[in-house]
Structure 1
Amino acid sequence: MKKMVKIKGKTYHLNYILGLVITSLVLLIVIIGFFYTPYDPNTMNAALKNSPPSLMHPLGTDNFGRDILSRVMVGAGTTYVIAVSIVLIGAFFGTVVGALTGYFGGWLDEVIMRFNDVLTAIPSILLALVFVSIFGTGTYNIIFALGILFVPSYARVIRSEFIVLRERDFVNNAKLMGAGSLRIMFIHILPNTRNVLIPALLIGFNNAVLAEAGLSYLGLGVQPPQASLGRMLSEAQSYLLDSPWYALAPGLMIILTVLGFSLISGGMGND
C-alpha cells in the first residue's frame, strides 16, 4: 500500500517527502561549505594526525591532521559541482540527439541510435577509464568524459517521449499554423517531456556522484590536495581499522545523497 502524506491540500508520496528532507540536509552542508568551514581543509597539523572525534574536531582528523568535517564540506561541494556539470553536458546533448531522432525518425534515427546502442552496451566507467588514460587525470577530464558518456541514456529517454508526442494534436496544430520543426521540437514538445526528464536528471545526478567517487577513488579524478568524496575515501582506505571515522563521513555523504535523490525520483513517479 502506498503511503501518502497530505500537505496544504496536496497529496505527496511519503518517499518523496523523506527524500526532500534528506536531500535538504545534505545540500545545506554543501552550501555552507562554499562559504564557511571550521578550519582550512588543506591545513596540516602533524600533532593531530588521525585524532578521533572531539569537540574541536567533531569528525576527527585525517592522516595529515586535517579537519575531516571541513574536508567533507568542501569535498562534497566539489563532488556536487562535478556531478551537476556531467549531468548538464549529458542532458543537453542527449536532449538534442533524442529530439532529432525521435521527431524525424527514418535513417537519421537508425544511424544515430545504433551508435547510441553501442555506447550503451559498454560500461561507462570502462570508457571513462580509457578516456582518462589517454587524455590524463583531473577534474575537467572527468567532467568531459563522463558528460559525453551520459549522452546515450538521456537520448533514449527523450527519443521515446518524442516518438509518442510527435503524433499528438497540439503538434499537428502547430504544423498547420506554420511552426518550424525546431520550434515544434523545443517549444511545443520538449516541455511536455518534463515528467520523465526530471526523474532522469535526478537519477543521472546520482550516477554522476557515484562515477566521480569511483574514478577519484582510483586516483584518476580529483587530485590531491583538492578534496572530493571519492578522493577522501581513497585516502582513508589504509586507515579503516585504526581510524574508521576517516572513511565514515565521506561514505555517509555519498549514501545520503544517493538515497535522497532516489527517494525523490521514485516519489515523483508515484504521485
Structure 2
Amino acid sequence: MKNKKINNLNFKIGISIISLVLLFIIIGLFYTPYDPNAMDGTAKNMAPGFTHLFGTDNFGRDVLSRVMEGGRTTFFVALLTVAIGAFFGTLVGAFTGYYGGWLDEILMRINDGVASFPSILLALIVVSLIGPGKYNVIIALGIIFIPSFARVVRSEYITLKERDFVKNAKLMGASDLRIMFVHILPNTKAILLSSLTIGFNNAVLAEAGMSYLQLGVQPPDPSLGRMLSEAQSYMFMSPWCAIFPGIMIVLSVIGFSLINER
C-alpha cells in the first residue's frame, strides 16, 4: 500500500514536471522574446537580467529564446525517433511473436545483432555514412530503437496468442492480420505505453548526445545538446549558456523517469 502511494506520488510529480516543460516549449511555438538566431554584437555574454532573462551567449543571442526553440527541436527529434522505433518494432514483434518459426528465427537474429551494438556507437556509424543533420539523426536513432520495441511486443504476442479471446476470434473466421492488430495489439497497451515513455526519455538523451558531438542539429539552429556543445568553451565566462539547456534536459529525464515508475 505504501509503495503504491509513493508510485502515485512519483507519477503526479512526473506529470507536473513534464507539463511545465511542455508548456514552456508550446509557448515557444507562438512566442519567443527574441529571434533565437539573431546576433547582437553589443550584447555578448550578458548575464541573466530583465532584458535577457536567461542571459545571452558569445554571439549575443538570447539564451531563453534558444532554449525554447532548442527544446522544441530536441522533443521533435525524440518524438519522431520513438515513432519510427515503435512502428517498425511493433511490426517486427507482432509478426515474429504471432507466427514464430523461421520468420521468428531470421528477424530476431537480425534484431539481436542490431541490439548487440552500443546504441550511440551504432548511431555514430549510421550518421557517418549518411551525414550529420537533424533528419539523419532521426533515421539513425529510429533504427536503433526498433530492437527494444520488437522484443517487448514479441514477448507479449507469444503470451497473448494463446489466450481464449484469440482462439475465439480464429473460430469466428477472423484473419491473422485482424487478430494481430485488432484483437491482440490493444492488449499490449500498458507495456507499449511504458516502453514509449522510456524510449522518449532515452531519445532525448541520445539526441542531446549526438548534437553535443556536432552530428545532430546543425548551426545556426539550436537544440539542447547543440547549445551545451557551443557553451563548453565559455563555461567560466557565461555558465548560464550551459546551465539552462542542461536544466531542461535534466527535468525532462526526471519527469519521464518518475512517470514510468508507476
Give the TM interval when normalised to the shorter protein: over 0.9
Residue number in structure 2 paired with 1:2:
3
CA shift for structure 1 position 180: 0.4
Residue number in structure 2 paired with 1:209:
204
CA shift for structure 1 position 107: 1.3
SS of structure 2 residue aligned to 1:60:
coil
Tell me if 1:55 matches 2:50. yes
Choose which of 220, 241, 248 in structure 2 pairs with 1:225.
220
Aligned residue pairs: how many? 261
After TM superposition, the score normalised by the length of structure 2 is: 0.98
After TM superposition, the score normalised by the length of structure 1 is: 0.95
Tell me if 1:164 matches 2:159. yes
CA shift for structure 1 position 3: 5.5
Residue number in structure 2 paired with 1:84:
79
Instruction: Report percent identity of matched pairs.
Output: 65
Gaps of 5+ in 2: none
Question: Alpha-carbon deviations, 1:35-64, whole Å to 9, x = none?
Answer: 110111111011111110001111100010
Tell me if 1:148 matches 2:143. yes
Letter in 2 for 1:4: K
Question: CA RMSD of the aligned region, Å?
Answer: 1.0
Question: Alpha-carbon deviations, 1:56-90, whole Å to 9, x = none?
Answer: 11110001000000000000000001100000000
Distance 1:103 1:3 in 2: 34
Letter in 1 for 2:105: E
Tell me if 1:192 matches 2:181. no
Distance 1:117 1:134 in 2: 22
SS of structure 2 residue aligned to 1:83:
helix
Choose which of 115, 122, 134 in structure 2 pairs with 1:139.
134
Gaps of 5+ in 1: 6-11
SS of structure 2 residue aligned to 1:46:
coil
Residue number in structure 2 paired with 1:104:
99
Dislocated runs of 4+, deviation >3 Å: none
Distance 1:178 1:90 in 2: 32
CA shift for structure 1 position 135: 1.1
Choose which of 213, 237, 243 in structure 2 pairs with 1:242.
237
Distance 1:80 1:124 in 2: 19
